[in-house]
Structure 1
Amino acid sequence: MIERYEVESFLVLAEELHFGRTAEKLRVSTARVSRTIRKLERRVGAALFDRTSRRVELTPLGRALADDLRPAWQAVEAALQSAVEAGRGLSGSLQVAYVGAAAGQLLIGITQLFRERAPDCDVRLREARMTETTRWLRDGDADLCLGPLPVHEPDLICGPPLVREARMLAVPAGHPLDRPHGATTEDLTNLPVIRLRDGTAVPPPLPPGPAADSIQEALTLVGAGHGVLPVGAHTRRYYPRPDIAYVALADAPPLEWGLIWPQSRTTARVRAFTRAATDLVTDPTPTP
């Protein structure tokens, strides 16, 4: 029978395709990961990975095994987590990440309401860059994250939108679009649009500009004249800069914010925190 550590090692390596990162994620040695995979391949009777000095790739058999194992393994983990949660109730701790100052401020109110309802659960807040959120959720460094919606990842759940805000455009101060009546998406067709390194593509036909790791870095690129940046209306309040002008982006859909969490870790604490968030924005002065 296949052992738990063999399944974990195989599925993590199938995702990372790197022995060193897999070992780091599992908190074991690289040699142990290699031994485990070789043992599993002997049991299967064929190679699951093609290895060279430069790359690791799944074989067709390995890819099929990963596709078959992953949902079953997630179901096992979810069942175990449900049993743990049933025993613990709402005690323990929650690690909640957030993207940007505005999300952090909203989380303060959500956390206060949640603590009134679950005083035995410790909530720890941690700011994340957009590029870090999915990794933190998958690695267990965060149980939930408050950030922009939607997130198109099959293993992550997006809760209901908590906040909707108008979209604006950050442009260099004195730019031709720095005008009272604002801009439209048509105005962007000949301008480089700065993007964050979070996997979010600039929608066609807009020309992509340079990439940035954080909102501050992106705004610095805007101020230096390297492009423009679509943002939420809160950015004008939380990131005022003398080299940046924020103009309305009249025909763009609103930006939505909400909680995101891994499907396999939809615990009682996560559900209770999500309910507190929804209650807070529905009635700013709810009673527990």
Structure 2
Amino acid sequence: MRRYATIVKHDLTMLVEAGMLERHEIEVLLTLCEELHFGRTADRLRISTARVSQTVAKLERRLGVPLFDRSSRRVAATPAGRDLYAELRPAWDRISAAVEHTVATGRGRGGTLEVAFVEAATGQLLTRAAELFRERLPDCAVRIREAQPAQVIPWLREGEIDIALGALPVHDPDITAGPVLVTEARILAVPVNHRLAQRRSVTLADIPAATVLTGTGTTGELLTSVGAGKGVLPIGAHARRYHARPDVAYVPLRDAAPVQWVLLWRKGNDSARIRGFVSAAEAAAQPG
């Protein structure tokens, strides 16, 4: 019988590669080996008992070796059937898992979600959102990375990242902005010896436009320029906590619009993963 098992394994490989073995035939074979009962096999696969019997008979004729011994009282796998099951079960499990993973990814529920942030404070919010997201969609991994403000839109457009936490307004027609997650007051970062540093508050009219820093770079780099006396920087109030520096003073801007933080993603990329992460971020942003 070992000779038959070897023949069966060889023939099975050829049959599978040639597309001559159907999915339902493999499922019937594996299930009957586990149940050793035609009725229970039919129930598990939601087909008729006659269909199970016909499928097994067809396989045995094709392979040229009996796979089961059956009588009115019992069903037992032959040595060839047991060997075939042992060879086929792990491979079929891997194939099934691969197919399920591919389908899930195609539907936007699997794979890896690439997320970017531009501020330390928003990075913490994204970390909490990622924890909630993984509880809801455990098949999808999350990778969080820091970006410079000027990198966010190009990265989204080019597919470098899937979603990012950025500030409004966003004028790019190819980018979708989600609901506002965090709103904070705007303050002005000035050199500690600046004429406005001791003011209790300032207005936009108090700030010469020529002195406002507009270059690219991280928040830390821009604040280093502020501390060096190269200009001033309107920024969210979180800077007091996350960017406290001896060379920079923060003064409230009483007539400036607040900073609104939202999730951004590429239009047309409204997948289950994106929707799931937006929902998780909204929950993470709730107080308490």
- TM > 0.5 between the two? yes
Distance 2:194 2:103 in 1: 57
Are 2:123 and 1:123 aligned? no
Partner residue of 2:253?
249
Distance change in 2, residues 1:113/1:266 (3 Å): same
Query: Can you give the 5+ residue segments of structure 2 that lack an aligned partner in the other structure?
Result: 1-101
Task: Count residues with an aligned counterpart.
Answer: 187
Distance 1:161 1:222, change over 3 A: same
Deviations 1:231-271 (A, max 9, x none): 00011111111110011011111100010000021111001
Alignment-derived partner of residue 235 in structure 1: 239
The match for 2:180 among 161, 177, 180 is 161
Structure ID, larger Rg:
2
Aligned equivalent of 1:108, options 127, 131, 144: 127
Question: Secondary structure of the equivalent of 2:222?
Answer: helix
Q: 2: CA distance between counterparts of 1:281 and 1:223? A: 32
User: Any runs of at least 4 consecutive aligned residues in structure 1 with deviations exceeding 3 A, and if so which?
Assistant: 83-89
Equivalent residue number for residue 277 of structure 1: 281
Relative to 1, partners in 2 of residues 1:184 and 1:141: Cα closer, same or farther, differing over 3 Å?
same
Give TM-score, length-normalised by structure 1.
Answer: 0.61
Report what 1:137 is aligned to.
156
Of Structure 1 and Structure 2, the greater helix share is in 2
Q: Distance in 1 between matches of 2:287 and 2:239?
A: 24
Kept in 2: contact 1:194–1:212 (CA 8 A):
no
| Deviation at residue 87 of structure 1 after TM alignment | 4.9
Structure 2 contact 110–139 (Cα < 8 Å) conserved? yes
Q: Is the 8 A contact 1:191 1:228 kept in 2?
A: no
Check whether the contact 1:171–1:245 (CA below 8 A) recurs between aligned residues. Answer: yes
Q: Counterparts of 2:247 and 2:106 in 1: how far apart (Å)?
A: 55
- Percent identity reads 50
Give the residue type in structure 2 aligned to 1:122: A
Q: Which amino acid aligns with 1:123?
A: V
CA–CA distance in 2 between the matches of 1:251 and 1:135? 31
Instruction: Provide the alpha-carbon RMSD of the alignment.
Output: 1.9
Displacement of 1:189 after TM fit?
3.1
Distance 1:84 1:264 in 2: 19
Classify the secondary structure of the residue corresponding to 1:265.
Answer: coil
1:106-160 Cα shifts (integer Å, max 9, x gaps): 1011111111111111000011011111111111110000111121101110001
Structure-to-structure mapping, 1:79-228, within 5 angstroms: 87-88=106-107, 90-189=109-208, 192-195=211-214, 211-228=215-232
Where 2:213 maps in the other structure, the secondary structure is strand
Structure 1 range deviating more: 249-258 or 185-194: 185-194
- Gaps of at least 5 residues in structure 1 are 1-82, 196-210
- Whole-angstrom CA distance in 2 between matches of 1:176 and 1:86: 56
Contact 1:85–1:268 (CA under 8 A) maintained in structure 2:
no
